[in-house]
Structure 1
Amino acid sequence: MTDQHGGAGMTGQSGTAVATSPKTGEMVVVEDLRRTYGSGETAVHALRGVSFAVPRGELVALKGRSGSGKTTVLNLVGGLDTPDGGRISLDGTDLAGLGDDDLLALRRDRIGFVFQSFGLIPILTAAENVGVPMRLRKTPPREREERVELLLALVGLADHAAQRPGELSGGQQQRVAIARALANRPDLIIADEPTGQLDADTGLAVMELLRAVVRSEGVTALVATHDNQLLALADRVLELRDGRIVADS
């Protein structure tokens, strides 16, 4: 995948240069990641030394029971939470070297998030929901409208642009959410149980769409799911148990 952001570094809204690591073939590198919630006897050790790398342009799935650490990994890689130990780099940028403004810019410009609950704004149309990230980035209106039209066509919803979330099925809402995640041409898509609220057939269709998007848009995807049928569509599967990776296949 061509690096559309220039060199190995990153400059956020603050204009401050941040620490970077040498470029490799991996989009995501996680080393000895640890995260504990609480303290003392009630402490929950969510991650206990997790390490893995995700090459550019691959869809990697995280599997494991509830509480295994999947969501914690996604939140840390996505810059939504901070680890207690270990290291995370995204396209050569060490997240530990980013300030708040730089992390905000990273999440806005380089990561697309897809959640189980869809997360669409009820009063906005499908097209308006897809356009929200570009409005935040102050993308010119004409460019924004063209990108929205392209993305809705990509996810098969060109004829539903004017409909609001309440007028769409669950599968259609998740397709809008995927289009929104792609709005700012991210390097990485993070999806946490994206088919959790969908029936089996619709969930499979959404996962196939995610895989197709990874190929067509040249992005990398990290997806948490417990559905074995969906895991078969991933390039690679990491299994977590009690905060550790126990299988990599």
Structure 2
Amino acid sequence: MTESSSAQSGTAVVDDASRHMVRVENLHRSYGTGAAAVHALRGVSFEIPRGELVALKGRSGSGKTTLLNLVGGLDTPDQGRITVDGTDLSGLGENGLLELRRDRIGFIFQSFGLIPILSAAENVGVPMRLRKADPREREERVALLLALVGLADHAAQRPGELSGGQQQRVAIARALANRPKLLIADEPTGQLDAETGLAVMELLRAVVRGENVTALVATHDPQLLGLADRVLELADGEIVEA
């Protein structure tokens, strides 16, 4: 390769990293061995540009949660490559993956995942405590995020004192605590009624725009899919629509 072609190649890599928050190439993941093996993902490839809200749809067992876990660095593929924010996950050890999840990725779960004995404000502040943020910075960020999700007046309430929709809003605020570049949400409206679910999805879309983050959201609700910039469909471990 000539010096000029090498430079051009390097520029292409930088440009691609600047355009895409997530890049998935030929991803395979199986569970079990031999005839009993379950092939959760079969050669999945896609890209997510920065600043997009991408919805991931598919029937139960199609591989959605497996894919989210891989992109979020919670699991490793059998084959293939995942790049998040310009970082190849295969080059990271356990400590590197831990830092990636702590500093650059925010997770939102269907079950909310809040700590029952902590107030809404304390739940939101947990990620910042883990990275030992300055207490004043933490308090200011918590107050800002609770206001962002419409819960400024509920800071002192515990999860059991909040509705399902309010609990999910706290979970969204917590996911944003460390200013992540990527939000990963697994059926975030699955336990909510249709009206509340729509409000939460609209909040996620507003967060993507206002906080300048990228989001990959698994959902099966057709009404919610309409709020996404793009929809990816998984069927039997393969992308069938992109």
TM-score (norm 2): 0.93
Match of 1:128 among 122, 126, 138: 122
Gaps in structure 2 of 5+ consecutive residues: 1-12
Distance in 1 (CA, whole Å) between partners of 2:179 and 2:46 is: 24
User: 33, 44, 60: which is aligned to 2:27?
Assistant: 33
Match of 1:211 in 2: 205
Counterpart position of 2:82: 88
Q: What's the CA shift for 1:41? A: 1.3
> What residue number does 2:96 align with?
102
Q: 2:227 aligns with which of 220, 226, 233?
A: 233
**2:240 equivalent among 214, 225, 246:** 246
The Cα of 1:67 is off from its aligned counterpart by 0.4
The aligned residue for residue 18 of structure 1 is none
Q: Could you list the per-position Cα deviations for residues 133-175 of structure 1 after superposition, in whole angstroms to 9, with x for gaps in the alignment?
A: 0000100000000000000000000000000000000000000
Aligned to 2:110: 116
Q: Deviations over 1:51-108 (max 9, x none)?
A: 0000000000000000001111100000000000000001111000001111000000
How far apart, in 2, do the equivalents of 1:117 and 1:240 lie? 22
- CA distance, structure 1, for counterparts of residue 239 and residue 35 of structure 2: 24
Deviations 1:185-226 (A, max 9, x none): 000000000000000000000000000000000000000000
Amino acid at match of 2:218: A
Q: Secondary structure of 2:99's match?
A: helix
Structure 2 residue 175 is matched with structure 1 residue 169: no
Equivalent residues in 2 for 1:48-59 (5 A)? 48-59=42-53
Distance in 2 of aligned mates of 1:244 and 1:198: 28
For the residue of structure 2 that corresponds to 1:61, the secondary structure is strand
Q: Does 1:153 align with 2:147?
A: yes
2:182 is aligned to 188
Percent identical: 82
Please tell me the residue identity of whatever aligns with 2:238: R
| CA distance, structure 1, for counterparts of residue 168 and residue 205 of structure 2 | 14
Partners of 2:82 and 2:99 in 1: how far apart? 17
Mapped to 2, the partners of 1:201 and 1:212 lie a distance apart of 17
**Which 4+ stretches in 1 moved above 4 angstroms?**
none
Of Structure 1 and Structure 2, the greater helix share is in 2
User: For residue 29 of structure 1, what is the amino acid of its counterpart?
Assistant: R
SS of structure 2 residue aligned to 1:237: strand
Distance 2:138 2:86 in 1: 29
Which runs of 5 or more structure 1 residues have no equivalent in the other structure? 1-20
The aligned amino acid for 2:35 is E
Give SS of 1:123's match: coil
Residue 94 of structure 1 aligns with an amino acid whose one-letter code is: D
Aligned length: 228
CA shift, 1:24, in A, is 3.6
Q: What is the SS of the residue equivalent to 1:206?
A: helix
> RMSD between aligned alpha carbons?
0.7
